[in-house]
Amino acid sequence: MKLDPLRWPLDDDGLVALPLRLYLVMLLLLRPVISWVLALTIPEQKGEMLAVLYPDQQQFLLACLLAIPTLLICAALSQRRPKGHPAWFRLWRYGKWLLLLNLIPDLWITIAALPKYAAVEQPWLLVAPSLLLLALAWILRSKRLPVIFSEWPEPATTKK
């Protein structure tokens, strides 16, 4: 029996359910914002924590700016329900491209920021670029993402 690739599990609103990978990719792309929030919650070590993750302050600011498209996708995702505002669909339908707009420069900057001989001296620094490459491959090859980003719930009808 052949499996139909367009048959995926549905959520409570009758839309194709978001895969866990999409949430993980968004978390990966939001890592500068998440690290910033974590640094703000620990005021004594704010500068030290960010300095470990982002030694160059301008690289951190650039990473935060690059995360803006993913933040917009998260905002649209919060409205992807019947009572959500339908204007967010204009942004949501370009979600795949916004993720790529965030992912490709992030990958480029992450690789460019690697120190010489990182694979030998600090191999843990290769985790982020490796995960970004896997995310890029998944976004480009996924048949489910275009379906997800083309769906939007019908507005909820109010009963009188």
Residues 54-87 pLDDT 10s: 777 888 889 899 999 999 999 999 998 888 888 8
Residue 109's contacts (CB-CB under 8 Å, 6 or more residues apart) are: 59, 62, 63, 66
pLDDT recorded at residue 158 = 54
**Domain parsing of the chain, residue ranges:** 20-150
Residue 1's contacts (CB-CB under 8 Å, 6 or more residues apart) are: none
- Tell me the mean pLDDT in the region 37-43: 82
Rounded Cα gap, residues 24 and 9, in angstroms: 18
- Of 125, 65, 130, 76, nearest to 101 by C-alpha is 65
Residues 18-37 pLDDT 10s: 999 999 999 999 999 998 88
Count the alpha carbons within 13 Å of 69 in the hemisphere toward its beta carbon: 19
Rounded Cα gap, residues 52 and 67, in angstroms: 19
**C-alpha distances out from residue 32 to 49, 55, 70, 87, 145, Å:** 12, 12, 11, 28, 24
Compute the Cα dihedral for 34, 112, 138, 90 and give only its sign: positive
Rounded Cα gap, residues 65 and 41, in angstroms: 21
Whole-structure pTM value: 0.83
- Tell me the mean pLDDT in the region 115-133: 83
Long-range Cβ contacts of 36-41 (<8 Å, 24+ apart): 36/60, 36/64
